[in-house]
Amino acid sequence: MEFTALVLLVVAPYFSALASPRDGCGQRFLVAPPGTSRIVGGREAPEGAWPWQVSIQIQSRHHCGGTIVSSLMVLTATHCFHKYMKISRSHFRVVAGLNLLSAPGNQTQIRSIREVQMHKDFNTATSDNDVTLVLLSSPFKFSDHIQPVCTPHNVTHEFILNFSHCFITGWGSSYYRGTLKNRLQEAQVELIDRRTCNLITWYGGIITENMICAGLESGASDSCQGDSGGPLQCYSEDEDRFYVVGVTSFGHMCGLRRRPGVYARTSRFAGWLNRSQTASASAAHRLNTRLISALLCAALIHQQ
């Protein structure tokens, strides 16, 4: 009987790691909900404001942003990886619970990468389908500083959520060809409909259905180099949660009038996200599952 209890104790965390990513997502415990005041341009993010934001690093240097969607998976941009596949995966790491790049605190957790799942239809010329899922070597332990974000179920769900406030976050530069910022930055943005964003005086037709523009017409709020792969996140007042609405993808330089940031539209990738998450999680857990089955069998035999 003691052996059975021991087996259950060992097995329980694996099942909780496999639990649906929508269980408790998009909530932050250290910062109040967004107010009604507008923020134009970037400002320093308070500690714990964006607990799903990660820094993807190469040889301990910030390379791209990313978003925690479950304890084992980080959503980022394909362009953060596809030119870097010759670099050994062991040189990459994913850092969560981070505010100051130069000074990871005791809230920080670091994981290596087990697998990179790039969207197979990523187009280098157009940046269409600029989404990648990174499978971690071991799960993040969620805390006040580390939490998963919610992901929209589909495009209709994205509309129904009726977002009141959207923000972009990252350690990227505050001007084109600038240097990285040490402290995580946040800026409030507006979602810009595709028709406007494709106007001849804006992006002139290069924005596909898999992309969403966000920023301000004036250009005063924008993402920039180093923010790539990170989240465009929106707050649902009804649900009191944040959803990742976009993945920072590209733009014509930074902060230019009528050249807002362009983001991979996550609601268009809900099916891909679910399939990739299930496939990767099951592959990663196949070995563990075998071990668990063996242990459970042993416990049953032991009981008889």
Catalytic residues: 79, 130, 228
Residue 301: how many other CB atoms lie within 10 Å:
9
Q: Select the residue whose beta carbon is closest to ligand 4AZ and give its number.
A: 251
Residues of the chain by 3-state class (helix, strand, coil), percent to 5? 25, 30, 50
Residue placing its CB nearer to ligand 4AZ in the complex, 220 or 270:
220
How far apart are alpha carbons 247 and 89 in whole angstroms?
22
Tokens linked to 163: 């977002």
Residue placing its CB nearer to ligand 4AZ in the complex, 42 or 251:
251
How far apart are alpha carbons 118 and 81 in whole angstroms?
8
With CB under 6 A as the contact rule, the residue among 251, 267, 268, 277 that binds ligand 4AZ is: 251
Length reported for the chain: 304
With CB under 6 A as the contact rule, the residue among 254, 264, 273, 284 that binds ligand 4AZ is: 254
Determine, following the binding rule CB under 6 A, whether residue 277 of this chain makes contact with ligand 4AZ. Answer: no
- The residues with which 137 forms a beta bridge, in sequence order, are none
Q: Which pairs with CB-CB distance under 8 Å and at least 24 residues apart come from 291-299?
A: 292/10, 292/11, 292/14, 295/7, 295/10, 295/11, 296/7, 296/11, 298/3, 298/7, 299/3, 299/4, 299/7, 299/8
Question: In 3D, which of 185, 208, 184, 183 has the Cα closest to residue 197?
Answer: 208
From residue 151 to residue 190, the character string flagging contacts with ligand 4AZ as x (rule: CB under 6 A) and all else as - is: ----------------------------------------
Measured in whole angstroms, how far is the alpha carbon of residue 240 from the centre of its chain?
19
Min. distance of Cβ 269 from ligand 4AZ in angstroms? 18
Q: What are phi and psi of 286, to 5 degrees?
A: -55, -45
Determine, following the binding rule CB under 6 A, whether residue 261 of this chain makes contact with ligand 4AZ. Answer: yes
- The residues with which 215 forms a beta bridge, in sequence order, are 190
Residue keyed to tokens 């005063």: 220
Min. distance of Cβ 155 from ligand 4AZ in angstroms? 23
Determine, following the binding rule CB under 6 A, whether residue 18 of this chain makes contact with ligand 4AZ. Answer: no
Q: Which of residues 210-229 bind ligand 4AZ (CB under 6 A)?
A: 222-225, 227-228
Tokens linked to 55: 């820094």
Determine, following the binding rule CB under 6 A, whether residue 248 of this chain makes contact with ligand 4AZ. Answer: yes
Residue placing its CB nearer to ligand 4AZ in the complex, 47 or 222:
222
Residue placing its CB nearer to ligand 4AZ in the complex, 98 or 213:
213
Q: Which of residues 56-85 bind ligand 4AZ (CB under 6 A)?
A: none
Min. distance of Cβ 259 from ligand 4AZ in angstroms? 7
Min. distance of Cβ 253 from ligand 4AZ in angstroms? 7
Min. distance of Cβ 105 from ligand 4AZ in angstroms? 26
Taking the CA of residue 10 as centre, how many other CA atoms within 13 Å lie in the half-sphere pointing to its CB?
15
Min. distance of Cβ 274 from ligand 4AZ in angstroms? 27
Residues that bind ligand 4AZ (CB under 6 A): 222-225, 227-228, 248, 250-251, 254, 261
